[in-house]
Each structure stands twice: as structure tokens, then as C-alpha cells.
Amino acid sequence: MLFKIAWRNIWRNHTRSLVVIAAVAVGLFAGMFMIAFFQGAVKQEIDSTVETQLSHLQFHNPAFIDDKDANYTIYNGRAIIDILKRDINVKAVSGRVITTGMISSSSTAAGVEIHGIIPGDEKTISSISQDIVEGTYFTGLKKNEIVIGKKLSEKLGVKLHNKIVLTFQSKSGDLTAGSFRIAGIFRSRNSTFDEITVFTQFGDLAALLGTGNEVHEIAVILKDGQKVEQVTKMYKKAYPLLLVQTWKELSPQIALLTGVMDQMMYIIIGIILLALMFGIINTMLMAVLERQREFGMLMAIGMNKPRVFFMILLESVMLTCAGIPAGILLAIGTVGYLSKHGIDLSSISKALSQFGFSNIIYPDLQHSVFLPIILMTAFTAVLSAIYPAIKALRFKPAEAIHKI
């Protein structure tokens, strides 16, 4: 009976009820959209970092991480690569020779990290081959070809096919220099990466370093990225003398970003629901004050205070629950459309690229967020009804009946 009475009560004033329902729907939509937007941005940042720089996991000589000395290669690295390629969990593997040095043009110089790669293997690991904006990835026909980032080319004042000089320390400790010709220029989502990273062919860099067929780094992409912790644990046991790290260990700031973003999303939802709560309280309080005579009559004919309290609580919850489906459907529809077409933020893309974010964000709304948000919204409705209900319980039947 109370459910029926509460439902009729909320529709006594259609305009007021519809305004509250619309506020709930819009508030819920705004919160879910913000979650989808930031989740999409973080997911793209992680995917970009994994595809462009880190891969799912990497193998190193433990001493190599500290100073990237050419001497710290992976013992029996080629044999390990062959074993990894046969692993059913592994999608792609690439061995790299890496050093740090200076890159010089006729006008200026800059510090860079130099990656010697096997182009065919690297294509399966990294997205750099797809990010070429000028020239080609590697022709494979000429020696000493180099691929550099767009931002670095602008910094050095060089163009496609220009010559540059790489200077670094060889395995023997001697200062070595090599002349390279720019075969391609790439532009990834991360402008900082573009500015400090260059790629040469494995044999060209290894010959100058004196490392032969040895590798400094083995990058691995798994078929299922969700198994990265499990697979890494297995390889740590299999190769105890090597440093085996996941992308989270290689880039802890990205892993931290994921955790912080999850917390931020619920804070944003909390702020939206807090504002919504005051709106519901105001509406319910107005409704209670307008119905003083009615509450006086109900209590005078025998309705006890707990039932009055529960009836007002039901009205608040019903109003809120009427807005929840509308808000969810609006969020699903909007995010569904934008997840395919994206949100173009090209006007601020330079600022975003400094942090590795794309200028087009594709929102991503996970199903796991629905239940917590619905529960939080329902809890807000219950809290919103407490003060108006207490106000109604304070009415004295004899006085309330005479209210106009």
C-alpha cells in the first residue's frame, strides 16, 4: 500500500517530479561520461606506451638498466629469442641493441637513445612503422639508414635524406661516430619519445658498438595482455639471472596513473551526486512542507511515524530510480557513438602529446562501473530523504490539520 501511495504522491506535481528525474538523469550521464572519457584516455595512453615503447614485457641484463653500457648484453640472447618465439603465450619478439649518445646535424646536436632493430621483427612489436609521416620505415637496400622523430628533425633542422652523425661509446670504451642518412621520419602520440629516440638497423649499430650478434633488450608482445603478470612470473623463474619486467615495472608512472584515475573517477561521481543530493533534499522538503495538513491527517487517523518516514523515503528513491535508466541509456548511447568517432581535441593536441595522449580521445565505458554508480545514486536518494522525513515527523497532528 505504501508503495502505491508514494508513487501517486510523486506525480501530484508533474513538473517538479520531472525536473528531479531529469536532474538525476543528467547528473548520472555527466558522471558516467567523465568516467568513460578518462578511462578511454588512459587506455589509449597505455596502449600507445606498450605499442610504441615498452611492449608487454622486456628482458635485460640487470646491470644494463642503470647506465646502458654496451658491455651489458643478454647472455645467450639469441637462443632465448628462439625459445620465446615458440611459446604459445607469445605473439611477437624482437631483439634490440641499444645505446645512448649524441645526434648531430650541421646546425646543432642533441642527446638521444639509439635503438638498433631488425625491421621485420620490430614491425610486429612496435607501431613506429605505422607512424611514418615522411619517407619509409627502412628500405633494407642501403647501409646506415636511420629513422627519427618529427620533433627531433625540427629540433636538428634536418629533412628526409639529410645526413646526421651519431656519436657514442663502443663496447671497448672508445668514442665512436657514424654517419647515417634519414630514411624516414615518424610521429607517435608521445612527442617526448619522438624527440629522444632514434632507430637504426641492428647490424649497422652493432658493427659500430662492437657487440656482434648480442642483444641488450628483448621485447615481447603477448597474445593476451591480461596474462602479463602470470607469464612474467614464469620467465623470472626460468631466467633468474636476467631482469624480466612488465610494462608496469618499466613505466611505474603509467601504472600509477591508472590507479589515480580510478580514484579520481569516483571522486568526480561523488561531487556530482553531492550536488544532486541537495537538489533532491530541496524538492522533497518543499513537497513535505506543502503537505503538512495531509501528514497531520494521516497521523491523526493512526499512521505511525515509521510508516510516514518510510513513505517519504520511498518517494525520494522512486524519483531517483526513475532517472537512473534514462541517465544510463543516455550515457551508453553517447559513449557508444563517440567510442567509434572519437572526440577531436586537436586544438590542444600539442599539450596532450607532451604526456603521450592522442589528440582524438575514444571514450571507453566499462561494464564494471554500472553497479557501483547505481548503488551510489540509490544511496544518495536515501540520504536525501532523511531530513525531509524527519521534518515531517515533527509535525503535530492537531496543528498540522489546520494548515492551509
Amino acid 391: pLDDT: 78
Tens of pLDDT, residue by residue, the chain (404 residues)? 666 766 676 677 777 778 888 888 888 888 888 888 888 877 777 777 777 778 899 999 999 988 888 899 999 999 999 999 999 999 999 999 999 999 999 889 999 999 999 998 988 888 888 889 999 988 777 889 999 999 999 999 999 989 999 999 999 888 999 999 999 999 887 778 889 999 999 999 999 999 989 999 999 999 888 889 999 999 999 999 999 999 888 877 776 777 777 777 778 888 888 888 888 888 777 777 777 677 677 677 767 777 777 887 887 888 888 888 888 899 899 988 888 887 877 655 555 555 555 667 888 888 878 888 888 888 888 888 888 878 777 776 666 566 65
Domain regions of the chain by residue span: 2-48+255-401, 62-241
Q: Residue 222 to residues 92, 93, 117, 202, 283: CA-CA distances in angstroms?
A: 7, 9, 19, 23, 54
* pLDDT confidence of residue 350: 55
- The neighbour count for residue 330, using CB atoms within 10 Å, is 17
pLDDT of residue 202: 93
pLDDT of residue 280: 80
Residue 359 has φ and ψ, to the nearest 5°, of -80, -5
pLDDT on residue 2 = 66
